[in-house]
């Protein structure tokens, strides 16, 4: 059930925007996906047509992208985040997000980036959400916890009952280092040990530690439940590390992963693979039905993927910001595109793992 290490899989790469790469533009990414000729059986298929349209239900998750700055440059990063990115949420937008917690009453505030911990008001947002009884997720890249100024962060997160969702592509160092940079695996294990030391990964509801795995190439995520069993055994036996849940995600054909696909002439084949492995059972669990994603500039999106492709939530052609009273409406149509097939392929894929 493990993902075989891929010798020719994507490698950690400097940000597209820093290199001035053509696919740094969201418009260029969308155009590339739209140009692809799908297999004959799906030649005129659209995502909306195959799922019967996607509409919003009741809001559950307010996902806040605090910015694009990150200490890493992972190959699969759909944010095109990295150390050269400077975009960060400003104080006015932070204030709107806090107000939105009261207005929208989400069950979960999901803090992401970039590395969300790098935002100077990260801890303040955690406190604001927790004081309202809202569950908080920190989408943590693990290596950030080894940066000296964040050494006390695991204890602080534990004391505030923050759920940690941490990226770890694979339990083999070769595979993880290839995707995320040399030394990442060793650093990640050290960070996981520190989290275990403060009570994470032992089954406590207020110290949940989830790991996120993604494939090392142009194939789908493995079976989540079966893989979790293997991962738990290997990480405990080999490294003495415990975690609570494994989330298996498909790679989305966006940003750096899309550049890698395109560079090897593999975009059409990957999209065809996603479409051919369409799973109608995964469509019901699409995260865009109950999630509102906020960009660093306050613009809102159905999900983090639409955010990176610059497909904002609109009402009568007007882009809705987080401070707009009508930012969430049940029954609103979700903007979809060909990238969405990544969410319904195989067992389905979302920020919470498999959906099917
Ligand atoms: S740690 Fe996350 S945000 Fe940072 S480069 Fe990697 S995938 Fe992107
Ligand atoms: S990419 Fe976003 S909008 Fe498209 S199906 Fe997935 S969650 Fe929904």
By alpha-carbon position, which residue is closest to atom 8 of ligand 2? 288
Q: Is residue 251 a part of any domain in this protein?
A: yes
Q: Which residues, listed in sequence order, are joined to residue 350 by a DSSP beta bridge?
A: 353
Q: How far apart are CA 146 and CA 37, in angstroms?
A: 45
Ligand 2: atom nearest CA of 304 is 2
Q: How far apart are CA 218 and CA 239, in angstroms?
A: 29
Q: How many alpha carbons lie under 13 Å from residue 126 in its C-beta half-sphere?
A: 23
Sign of CA dihedral 30, 307, 328, 59: positive
Cα–chain center distance at 174: 22
Conformation bin of residue 170: beta by default, left when phi > 0, alpha when psi is -120 to 50 = beta
Q: Is residue 16 a part of any domain in this protein?
A: no
Give me the pLDDT at residue 55, please: 97
Give me ligand 2 centre to Cα 286, in Å.
7
**Among the listed residues 86, 20, 65, 100, the one whose alpha carbon sits nearest the alpha carbon of residue 307:** 65
Q: Is residue 298 a part of any domain in this protein?
A: yes
Is there a contact between 78 and 351 (Cβ–Cβ < 8 Å)? no
Structure tokens at 57: 């239900």
Spell out the SS3 assignment of 135-203.
EEEEEECCHHHHCHHHCCHHHHHHHCCCEEEEECCCCCHHHHHHHHCCCHHHHHHHHHHHHHHCCCCCC
Averaged pLDDT, groups of 10, the chain, 356 residues long: 44 87 96 96 94 96 97 90 96 98 98 97 98 98 96 98 95 90 95 98 98 91 94 97 96 94 95 96 94 98 96 94 97 97 94 86
Q: What is the CATH number of the domain that holds 333?
A: 3.20.20.70
Q: Is residue 4 a part of any domain in this protein?
A: no
Ligand in nearest proximity to the CA of 69: 1
Q: Is residue 353 a part of any domain in this protein?
A: no
State the pTM of this model. Answer: 0.95
**Among the listed residues 225, 75, 70, 92, the one whose alpha carbon sits nearest the alpha carbon of residue 139:** 70
Give me the pLDDT at residue 175, please: 86
Q: Is residue 137 a part of any domain in this protein?
A: yes
Is there a contact between 69 and 81 (Cβ–Cβ < 8 Å)? yes
Q: Is residue 7 a part of any domain in this protein?
A: no
Give me the pLDDT at residue 8, please: 56
Give me the pLDDT at residue 129, please: 98
| CB of 113 shorter than 6 A to ligand 1 | yes
Structure tokens at 224: 């989540």
Is there a contact between 267 and 29 (Cβ–Cβ < 8 Å)? no
Give me ligand 1 centre to Cα 224, in Å.
21
Give me ligand 1 centre to Cα 197, in Å.
24
Ligand 2: atom nearest CA of 337 is 4
| CB of 343 shorter than 6 A to ligand 2 | yes
Q: How far apart are CA 302 and CA 311, in angstroms?
A: 8
Residues 6+ apart with CB under 8 A from 196: 202, 209, 240, 241, 242
Distances (CA, A) of 351 to 59, 188, 240, 293, 347: 15, 20, 26, 11, 13
Q: Is residue 10 a part of any domain in this protein?
A: no
Ligand 1: atom nearest CA of 68 is 3
| CB of 16 shorter than 6 A to ligand 1 | no
* Total number of domains constituting the chain: 1
Residues spanned by the domain of 54: 21-344
User: In a mutational test of the pocket of ligand 1, which residue from 12, 69, 74, 307 has the highest number of ligand atoms less than 8 Å from its CB?
Assistant: 74
Give me the pLDDT at residue 29, please: 97
Give me the pLDDT at residue 313, please: 97
CB atoms within 10 A of CB 20: 8
């Amino acid at each position: 059930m493990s993902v075989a290490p891929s010798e020719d899989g994507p490698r950690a790469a400097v940000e597209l925007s820093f290199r001035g790469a053509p696919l740094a533009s969201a418009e260029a990414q969308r155009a590339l996906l739209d140009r692809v000729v799908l297999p004959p059986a799906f030649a005129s298929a659209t995502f909306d047509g195959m799922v019967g349209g996607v509409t919003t239900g009741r809001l559950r998750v307010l996902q806040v992208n605090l910015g694009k700055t990150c200490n890493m440059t992972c190959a699969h990063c759909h944010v095109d985040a990295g150390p050269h990115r400077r975009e960060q949420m400003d104080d006015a937008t932070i204030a709107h997000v806090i107000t939105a917690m009261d207005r929208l009453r989400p069950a979960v505030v999901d803090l992401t980036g970039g590395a969300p911990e790098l935002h100077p008001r990260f801890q303040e947002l955690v406190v604001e959400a927790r004081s309202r009884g809202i569950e908080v997720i920190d989408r943590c890249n693990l290596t950030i916890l080894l940066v000296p100024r964040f050494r006390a962060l695991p204890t602080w997160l534990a004391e505030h009952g923050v759920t940690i969702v941490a990226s770890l592509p694979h339990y083999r160092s070769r595979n993880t280092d290839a995707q995320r940079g040399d030394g990442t695996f060793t650093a990640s294990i050290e960070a996981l040990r520190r989290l275990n030391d403060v009570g994470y990964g032992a089954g406590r509801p207020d110290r949940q530690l989830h790991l996120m795995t993604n494939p090392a190439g142009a194939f789908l995520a493995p079976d989540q439940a079966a893989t979790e069993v293997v991962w738990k055994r290997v990480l405990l036996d080999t490294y003495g590390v415990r975690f609570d849940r494994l989330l298996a995600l498909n790679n989305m054909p966006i940003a750096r992963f899309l550049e890698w696909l395109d560079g090897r002439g593999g975009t059409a084949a990957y999209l065809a693979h996603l479409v051919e492995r369409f799973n109608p059972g995964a469509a019901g669990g699409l995260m865009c039905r109950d999630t509102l994603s906020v960009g660093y500039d306050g613009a809102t999106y159905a999900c983090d993927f639409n955010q990176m492709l610059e497909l904002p939530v609109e009402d009568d052609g007007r882009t809705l910001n987080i401070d707009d009273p009508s930012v969430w409406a049940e029954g609103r149509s979700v903007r979809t595109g060909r990238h969405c097939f990544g969410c319904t392929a195989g067992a389905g894929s979302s920020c919470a793992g498999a959906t099917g």
